[in-house]
Structure 1
Amino acid sequence: MSKTNQDKLSQELVDLLQGEKIVSLVTMDAETNKPHLSIVSWLVAHPGGEVIKFALGHKGTSVSNIQQNPEITLGVTGAGSCFSIKGQATVSDIIEKTMKYRVVTVQVESVEDIIFYGGKVTVEPDYVKTYNEDLAKKLDAEVYEMLNEK
């Protein structure tokens, strides 16, 4: 991907963002109006590269921040680089399953390759889930079913 701004995700980024990635979420704090950083991993980019959906706990700080100000930035490391994805987000009503969730739908407005000059990502960040493996599988199945709905 070139260093130019684009108005949707490339196919490579759509393919990359199919869950289980460490993605930074920047919202504006509803009380202080200062940037708030959190991490999401339950995230799916939809075909065409214009929509990303991710799940949050129903009472998360990011939920109230997005409800107050829908402009968000997602920071993605992968596909050989680092990307800033900006868009307008909406938050669903509470969805009650094993946990209470909210689904955030982002209409992508811009995608920018932001790695420093001459930089290339050679290894993507990875993580493990440290809680009950069966519960992790159950939660993942529920969430990805919700996120893949049209």
Structure 2
Amino acid sequence: MANQVEYALTEEMLPLLQKECYVTIATIDYEKNIPYVKAISWVYAPNVQTIRIMIDNRSRIVENIKTNEGVVLTLIANGSTYSITGSAKIVTERIENLPLKLSMIEMEIQEVRDVMFYGAKMTITPSYEKTYDAEAAAKLDRQVMEALKKKE
């Protein structure tokens, strides 16, 4: 996909974003008007044009999107780095029946670019582990992903 602009997720990217994975989200800070970047893992793409994320409802990201709907997700996968640009909206300020106060954000994809620098490829996909109670983490992850899939 190098030097190409897509207007939706590719067939290879869609399944990567249908499970918890490491991505970064960039928004424009509502007070400072500069980029604000945060790593997140609760993402779900129900189709090639849409990505949903779940985020703490006290996060700066929520206020940033209320002020400026432009967002960029960065995904490292398939040996490359992808910039996924779109407009986001707060779908639900507070998801009920979850132990944390989470907001659901939905992003409509406008373009997908391979932004890996020339002559290189990623050899390892980023991985992480939860550092709190493994059983509690797994339960919360299941609850959040179920909420992302059904969209309240």
Q: Give the TM bin, normalised by the shorter chain.
A: over 0.9
Q: Is the contact between residue 2 and residue 115 of structure 2 (CA under 8 Å) also seen in structure 1? A: no
Q: 1:23 and 1:33 mapped to 2: Cα distance?
A: 22
Q: Is the contact between residue 44 and residue 53 of structure 1 (CA under 8 Å) also seen in structure 2? A: yes
Aligned partner of 2:74: which letter? G
The answer for the alignment partner of 2:144 in structure 1 is 143
Identity %: 34
Unaligned runs of 5+ in 1: none
**Residue 134 of structure 2 is aligned to residue 133 of structure 1:** yes
**Residue 60 of structure 2 is aligned to residue 53 of structure 1:** no
TM-superposed CA distance for 1:16, in Å, is: 1.2
Q: 2:13 and 2:109 mapped to 1: Cα distance?
A: 12
Deviation string, structure 1 residues 43-92 (Cα, Å, up to 9, x no partner) = 11123x10001100111011111111110000110012100000000112
Q: Is the contact between residue 29 and residue 36 of structure 2 (CA under 8 Å) also seen in structure 1? A: yes
TM-superposed CA distance for 1:93, in Å, is: 2.1
Q: 1:20 and 1:145 mapped to 2: Cα distance?
A: 11
CA RMSD of aligned residues (A): 1.1
- What's the TM-score once normalised by structure 2's chain length? 0.93
Q: Is the contact between residue 16 and residue 79 of structure 1 (CA under 8 Å) also seen in structure 2? A: no
The answer for the alignment partner of 1:83 in structure 2 is 82
Secondary structure in structure 1 of the residue aligned to 2:138? helix
Number of residue pairs the alignment of both structures matches: 149
Q: 1:121 and 1:110 mapped to 2: Cα distance?
A: 21
Unaligned runs of 5+ in 2: none
- What's the TM-score once normalised by structure 1's chain length? 0.95
The answer for the alignment partner of 2:62 in structure 1 is 63
TM-superposed CA distance for 1:3, in Å, is: 2.1
The answer for the alignment partner of 1:21 in structure 2 is 21
Aligned partner of 1:90: which letter? K
Q: Is the contact between residue 20 and residue 44 of structure 2 (CA under 8 Å) also seen in structure 1? A: no
Instruction: Please list every run of at least 4 consecutive aligned residues from structure 1 whose deviation after the TM superposition is greater than 4 angstroms.
Output: none
TM-superposed CA distance for 1:94, in Å, is: 1.0
The answer for the alignment partner of 2:36 in structure 1 is 36
